[in-house]
Structures are given as C-alpha cells and as structure tokens.
Amino acid sequence: MNYITSSGFPDLNGSMVVTNDNVDSYYSNSLQQNGTVRNTGGSGLDFSVSFSANPPRVYHINAHASGNGFSGSANNNGPTLGTNPWSATASTGETPETAAKQTAY
C-alpha cells in the first residue's frame, strides 16, 4: 500500500510502499531520490532508511499502526541522535517515484 510520509526531518517527507509490516521502498521529496531500506522486524514498522546524499544520511523509524496509517518517531543515527515525530498516511494516489517512472516512458 502507498503512504505519504511526514517528519520533523525534511529528508523523510515523501512517500513509501508497505507490504504487511515491511517497507518495500521509501522516496524523499527533498532529496528527490529513493532510499535504501532495511527492515529490522518487530511489531509495526521498524526500519532504517539511508540516502546517498553528500554526506550520506541514515534514519531509523519505529512506528505503530494508527488510524489509516502509522505514527511513531524517527532518529537520525547521528552524533546528536536527534529524534522527531514521524507519520505515514495511506494514499490512494501514485507516489512521486511512480509518476516519474510513468512520465519517463
């Protein structure tokens, strides 16, 4: 299912695709790129996503089902270990990544 994501970390504002409790893909609107997702298991969503920005950026998200999406927190795995709220809302529309692929053909 497609979700629109939002967080206090601008890199995490974008979209993702989830199957059961596994994140299949994550797209950052501000970085305009797909991240590399590593699901760590557990209940709800528990995963890390990294982006090949300069410098590289890695985030860890832990969230539980809430309404028509997920709600939780994200940290930036950095030296300050900042934590911000994170949420995802179900979307019936296409993700920016899907739209970009369709217009590329």
The band of 2, judged by pLDDT with boundaries at 50, 70 and 90, is very high
The band of 104, judged by pLDDT with boundaries at 50, 70 and 90, is very low
80 by Cβ neighbours in 10 Å (0-12 / 13-18 / 19+) ranks as exposed
Q: What is the pLDDT of residues 33-72, one digit of tens each?
A: 999 999 998 789 999 999 998 888 899 999 999 999 999 9
**Angle 98-100-46 from CA coordinates, rounded to 5°:** 45
* Ordered DSSP codes for 28-67: ETTTTEEPEEEE--SSSEEEEEEE--SS-EEEEEEEEEET
Tokens coding 81: 């270990």
* 50/69 Cα distance (integer angstroms): 22
The pLDDT mean for the chain works out to: 87
* Average pLDDT estimate for 71-95: 82
The answer, yes or no, to whether residue 103 has pLDDT greater than 90, is no
